[in-house]
Amino acid sequence: MKNRATGWEQVFLPIRPNGSVGWVRDRNVTLALDPYTVWVSLKSPRITVFDGSKLVLNTPAGVGRSVLPTPHGTYYLVELLKQPNPNGPYGPYAFGLSAYSNVLQSFGGGPGQIGLHGTDYPQGLGTNVSHGCIRVSNAAIAKLAQLLPLGTPVQITD
């Protein structure tokens, strides 16, 4: 959520362009507190997860290469997909973020949505290796899949 006005809530929308917002009536939503925050550092590729002020996870991540960068900004978790092959390229789980690639209009048959997922290439963690998605170890994504509710904010910064 971004701003509030009498009778209205401003919300981030999971559409292009990144950062799009809309307004919904107060009476049509239920507000809930999500104590979790996910921080992604692109400079030294890492993901850090907090429950309030308590550190829950701090681990290397694989992020976008220079030609296919991970977009900066404030996003949130939109969906969680259990993968059919837990040892495949996306690991056991993949979160879809509200972020979209600023370079690719489509990828793998989808709309170029940025994901947070596991990997079958753990050597790439801590480097710029992806098409824009955020990769973590399979153990880390399994933990996050059990912990984080949809709607959890994701801050992607340098």
Residues near 87 by beta carbon (within 8 Å), at least 6 away in sequence: 120, 138
Would you state the structure tokens that stand for residue 118, as one six-digit string? Answer: 């596991």
154 token code pair: 């994701």
Largest CA distance in the chain: 51
- Structure tokens of 72? 């900066």
Exposed e or buried b for every residue in 51-72, given b needs 16+ CB within 10 A? eeeeebbebbbbbbeeebbbbb
- Among residues 46, 117, 131, 135, the one annotated as catalytic is 117
Active-site position among 47, 49, 114, 133: 133
Decide if 117 is catalytic.
yes
Residues carrying an active site annotation: 117, 133
